[in-house]
């Protein structure tokens, strides 16, 4: 499958490396989505984004001059990539705007939370009893931000705002950023649950952030799983990867993010936390000692890289499905 994304744009993002669910990862997911979106929907998304309350300072003032001089497609790829990353940009706003736009609890879910297809917990319980299920509210009941308690209900709310052309234009623009961002985040397994143990992680390891490896935390290793390849190469590999999957046609498909959540949880439960990590936790708890870093094997890194490409590809493809079928 040939990429439709201009290579000049990909080179502008980073000359050498690409990362999974950080800045470049969210931009890559948006780029993948744009390979499958119609011209009409691409232009619709850009028109919605132009009503963003911080469009001048966070978008126009940041666009690289070389992109600004290029065609509409190149500009759309950059703008929607910036939109997909914008919820992370909001973490660094000054106090007043950070309070308005930063939503830390929207990026992940408690592993005990269940709803719909996601009827199995995503938490790993090490030598302790499983917590009771937290039954999530139906999507149709999520009508305001006060009801949002995790990534799924954040998607319920923001997709409703974005799909409703009677919503305030500024609200739709902000919701667009969150929809692009959260649909990507949900495909990262460590956003779907945590590991709990009797003493060391009695409050949870925060989605792998408490597990140290030979280089950074487990969560950070997954976030940077695609490091080492150029962005253009990663987009090419991702498109090749998802072209081999039995994907549905885009038109007429519905979207159910609880399916995506359950997929991430299955990965988390099956192999994201290794036996070596669990052995080290048990040792540290038995000896009342600190957790020692657990190196990731070459086979684990290879599997993580391949899985990350597939998950980012699916996220982009599913963004296109939702936009083509739900966005007015």
- 2.40.10.10, 3.40.50.300, 1.10.575.10, 3.90.380.10: which CATH number matches 7-326? 1.10.575.10
Share of the chain above pLDDT 90, in %: 82
Q: Which two tokens stand for residue 296?
A: 């990731």
Q: Which two tokens stand for residue 267?
A: 């990965």
Residue 310 to residue 238: CA distance in whole angstroms: 6
**Strands 113-114 and 134-135, bridge-based pairing:** parallel
Share of the chain above pLDDT 70, in %: 93
Q: Which of 299, 284, 275 is nearest to 124 (CA)?
A: 275
Give yes or no for a contact between 191 and 208, defined as CB atoms under 8 angstroms apart.
no
DSSP assignment, residue 120?
Answer: S
Residue 75 has pLDDT above 60, yes or no: yes
Q: Report domain extents, the chain.
A: 7-326
Burial of 314 (0-12, 13-18, 19+ CB in 10 A): buried
Q: What is the pLDDT of residue 328?
A: 87
Whole-structure pTM value:
0.94
Tens-place pLDDT, residues 89-142: 999 999 899 999 999 999 999 999 999 999 999 999 999 999 999 999 999 999
């Amino acid at each position: 499958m040939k990429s439709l994304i201009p290579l000049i744009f990909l080179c502008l993002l980073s000359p050498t490396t690409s990362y999974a669910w950080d800045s470049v990862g969210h931009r890559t997911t948006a780029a993948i989505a744009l390979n499958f979106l119609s011209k009409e929907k691409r232009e619709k998304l850009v028109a919605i984004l132009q009503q963003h309350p911080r469009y001048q300072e966070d978008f126009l003032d940041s666009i690289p001059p070389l992109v600004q001089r290029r065609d509409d497609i190149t500009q759309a790829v950059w703008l929607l990539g910036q939109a997909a990353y914008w919820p992370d940009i909001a973490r660094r706003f000054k106090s007043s705007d950070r309070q308005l736009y930063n939503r830390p609890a929207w990026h992940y879910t408690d592993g005990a939370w269940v709803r719909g297809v996601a009827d199995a917990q995503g938490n790993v319980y090490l030598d302790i009893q499983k917590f009771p299920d937290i039954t999530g509210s139906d999507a149709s009941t999520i009508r305001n931000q006060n009801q949002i308690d995790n990534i799924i209900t954040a998607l319920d709310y923001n997709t409703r705002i974005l799909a409703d052309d009677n919503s305030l234009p500024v609200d739709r623009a902000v919701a667009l950023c969150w929809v692009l961002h959260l649909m990507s985040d949900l495909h990262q397994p460590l956003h779907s649950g945590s590991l709990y143990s009797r003493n060391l992680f009695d409050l949870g390891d925060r989605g792998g952030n408490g597990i140290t490896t030979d280089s950074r935390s487990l969560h950070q290793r997954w976030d940077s799983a695609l490091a080492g390849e150029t962005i253009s190469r990663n987009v090419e590999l991702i498109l090749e990867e998802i072209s081999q999957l039995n994907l549905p046609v885009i038109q007429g498909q519905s979207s159910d993010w609880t399916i995506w959540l359950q997929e991430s949880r299955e990965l988390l439960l099956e192999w994201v936390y290794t036996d070596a990590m669990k052995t080290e936790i048990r040792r540290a708890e038995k000896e009342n000692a600190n957790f020692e870093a657990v190196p990731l094997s070459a086979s684990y890194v290879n599997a993580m890289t391949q899985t990350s490409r597939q998950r980012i590809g699916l996220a982009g493809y599913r963004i296109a499905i939702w936009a083509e079928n739900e966005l007015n």
